[in-house]
Amino acid sequence: MRALVVDDSRAMRTLLGRMLRDMGYEVQEASNGLQGLERLKQTGKPDLALVDWNMPEMDGLEFVRALRSEQAYDGLVVMMVTTETETEQVAKALNAGANEYVMKPFTPEIIQEKLRMLGMAGP
């Protein structure tokens, strides 16, 4: 199983990457949406993408919309992992094509539970 973590915080990429590797994922990282799209072009479609909302150059919502406009990324499970907590923002992300939404701060158990709900708890 392969995952892409898109977040402008190096610490958050490291934390999420470690959690996913512990679950058996091979992890790629990107620091914003544009870099995330480049990484996808280089490495192909992963099984899962964990995406922050607030990032420079291309934010998470724009990234999700870009993914969902490309047939090549159909079936890619996208989970927003963000500080955006307003119901309206959650709805906006889900309407754009995110499969799930996790609010920061979170625990590893929350991430694992959401992945289990999505059938993505790892190999």
What is the arithmetic mean of pLDDT over 5-28? 96
> Is the pLDDT score of 123 beyond 90?
no
- pTM score: 0.95
Supply the pLDDT for residue 117.
93
Domain positions in the chain are 2-117
52-92 pLDDT tens trace? 999 999 999 999 999 999 999 999 999 999 998 889 999 99
Rg (Cα) of the chain, in Å, rounded?
A: 13
Name 36's Cβ contacts closer than 8 Å, sequence gap at least 6: 4, 6, 30, 49, 51, 58, 63
Supply the pLDDT for residue 121.
79
| CATH classification (class only), 2-117 | alpha beta
Query: What length does the chain have?
Result: 123
